[in-house]
Each structure stands twice: as C-alpha cells, then as structure tokens.
C-alpha cells in the first residue's frame, strides 16, 4: 500500500500537471460518477492528506481518491499512449489538453463539495507531512489506548496520518521493540513520533524509500551491490543488518479480518511479545 511519502509525491506530480489549468475532458469511470461533467472547470490545487488525494476544482468541488493497495495516478503528454495498466483498470481521466492525468485501480473515488472534505478526511490524526502536524496531539492519541499493540496503533490513521506497513516495521526496529509491544510499555514514545516525522520528511522527495543510515558494516552493502534501504521490511529469513540474526515475519498481524498484513522484526534487536509459532 502506498504510504504518506508516496502519496505526497503523487500529489506534487498532479499539482504540477493540473493546477491552474482548465479541464477539456474529465472521464470518471465509476457508476455513481458516470454522469458527472467536470469539463470547463479549473483545477485549483492537488494536495495530500495522509494517504488521501484531494484535487480541488473551481466551483467548490473536490475529487477525492485513495490509492489503497495498488492504485496509482500517472501523467502523460497529450497524444502519448497511456502505459499504467490495461484500459479496464482506468478509473479517472483528467485532460487539460496539454497533459493527461490517468488514475489506475482507484478503489476509492468520490466527488464532493470542498467544504465537506471533512466527511472523508476529518477522522484522520495529525498528518506527518501536512501543515497540521502536531506532535503533541499525535502522542495524545497514541497514549489513549496503552494496551494496544504498537504496530496496530501506528497503522491507525486516526493517530498519525501517513504511516503504512513499511514504516511501521522500520519504526519498531529503530525503537528496538516488536510490533506487539503495548503502547504503554514504550520507553520513549516522543522519540518514536519524532522519528516517524523525520523518516517521512527524508523520503518525501526520494525515488526510493530509505530508512537505513549505513552506520553499521552490514548496512553498507558489499562491493558491486547497493546497500540495503530497509532494516527489516521484506527481509524475512535474511540477516539483520545490525546483529546478523535472521529476520522473522508473522504472516498475519495488525489487520482487519481478510486484510491482515505481514510484520517483520529481528528477534535479537527488538524486545517485546511476539506471536506464537
């Protein structure tokens, strides 16, 4: 699932392509929006709010989208062949006559009044990359349920908006605790929140997400091979970059039924409870 840094990059690309320009074509390929006509409207701005994208148009309308697991927005010069996926996966086309923004596999696509954006993003906690960032409020929300597993609390967008499974695993590693440690047992939650903000800011403009610092020999890679970019995420069975212990993965963790997510951790470097097995 795209995380806050990826969504921020998507918002920047869409804003550069669309902001200040009038739509000559707007094709929204979901049944409830099939008759919506946005032609002639000017795109005022495109912004990210956590993992949500908000394209604000004149006349007080907002096109809201969420990338979920594998959605994406691609921008193409007019007349260029679109290459983001098969045509049946296209959910939105916004054409300015010069550039065309095409939304693929958008499981969430809504058109609403800009004044009512709170209906789709009002539940979110402080946005780690947004102008509303408030570390104290994020800490307050995390601490509201001290018995909750840390991984689940970090993934809850009502606490901190923009974190996904990659950052959850990496932040737990950097804090030296497992994702199942109760929030109330975390020694320094303020430091963890600060680290979350630092990582997303550092990766906001990077093409490849990186959380490692190359301060340990194993983090520097070997000759002819790039240094690893992540500490534990996606590294099940491979050596921990700090201690060499094989990284473990729990196949189901911190997800709703049917939407479980894998969790990765180093059993030597991270203290706290782990699932059985």
Q: What are phi and psi of 172, to 5 degrees?
A: -65, -40
C-alpha–C-alpha distance, residues 131 and 247, integer Å: 36
- Active-site residues, by number, are 2-3, 51, 261
**Where do the DSSP E strands lie in the chain?**
25-28, 43-49, 52-57, 61-66, 72-77, 90-95, 99-104, 108-113, 248-253, 261-265
CA 29 – CA 264 distance, rounded (Å): 37
How buried is 145 (Cβ within 10 angstroms: 0-12 exposed, 13-18 middle, 19+ buried)? Answer: middle
> Which among 27, 29, 56 is positioned nearest to 42, based on CA atoms?
56
Phi, psi angle pair for 25, to nearest 5°: -155, 140
What are the structure tokens assigned to 208, written together? Answer: 């490849």
Supply the angle between the helices 189-203 and 4-18 in degrees, to the nearest 10. 40
């Amino acid at each position: 699932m795209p995380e806050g840094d990826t969504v921020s990059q998507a918002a920047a690309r869409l804003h550069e392509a669309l902001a200040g320009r009038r739509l000559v074509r707007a094709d929204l390929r979901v049944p409830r929006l099939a008759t919506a006509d946005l032609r002639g409207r000017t795109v005022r701005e495109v912004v990210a709010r956590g993992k949500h994208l908000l394209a604000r148009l004149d006349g007080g309308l907002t096109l809201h989208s969420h990338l979920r697991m594998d959605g994406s927005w691609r921008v193409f010069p007019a007349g260029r062949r679109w290459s983001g996926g098969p045509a049946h996966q296209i959910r939105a086309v916004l054409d300015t006559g010069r550039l065309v923004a095409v939304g693929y596999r958008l499981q969430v696509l809504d058109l609403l009044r800009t004044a009512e954006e709170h209906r789709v993003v009002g539940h979110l906690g402080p946005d780690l990359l947004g102008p509303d960032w408030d570390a104290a409020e994020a800490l307050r929300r995390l601490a509201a349920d001290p018995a909750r597993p840390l991984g689940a609390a970090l993934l809850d967008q009502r606490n901190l908006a923009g974190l996904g499974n990659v950052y959850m695993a990496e932040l737990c590693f950097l804090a030296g605790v497992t994702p199942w440690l109760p929030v109330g047992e975390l020694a320094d939650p303020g430091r963890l929140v600060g680290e979350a903000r630092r990582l997303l800011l550092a990766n906001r403009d990077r093409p490849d997400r990186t959380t490692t610092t190359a301060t340990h020999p194993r983090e520097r890679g070997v000759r002819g091979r790039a240094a690893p970019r992540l500490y534990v995420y996606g590294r099940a069975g491979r050596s921990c970059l700090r201690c060499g212990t094989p990284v473990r993965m729990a196949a189901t963790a911190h997800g709703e039924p049917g939407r479980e997510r894998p969790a990765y951790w180093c059993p030597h470097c991270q203290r706290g409870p782990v699932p059985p097995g």
